[in-house]
Amino acid sequence: METTEFEPGYPKAKYSATGGFRVVESPDDESKLQGQWGNSPADFGFITAPSQEEMVPPLVPRPLPYAPNAWGPAPEAPPAQGTQHNP
């Protein structure tokens, strides 16, 4: 059975300034790449995912229709129907 030595950090993807990518298996393969190559599309200004600011809208407090009024007394409860109250 043949054993293979693995290079730490390989295989890895390399990204081109023109938008392409290649997977390299070793430092030797990486040195053979021609042109500009980086470790991320962001190395060349490509946006690959939105930032948190772009994803999360600003939080705006809104009153909830079912929330109790925290600034005043609660309204009086109406009398229960079907009962009589004689003072």
Residue spans of the domains in the chain: they are 7-42
| Residue 22, pLDDT score | 94
Confirm if 15 and 21 have CB atoms less than 8 A apart.
Answer: yes
Position 22: which residue type?
R
Contact 46, 19 (CB under 8 A): yes
pLDDT digits (tens, 9 = 90+) for 13-69: 999 998 899 999 999 999 999 999 999 998 998 877 877 777 776 666 666 666 566
Does the N-terminal peptide bond of residue 11 adopt cis geometry, omega within 30 degrees of 0? yes
**14: phi then psi, degrees, rounded to nearest 5:** -120, 140
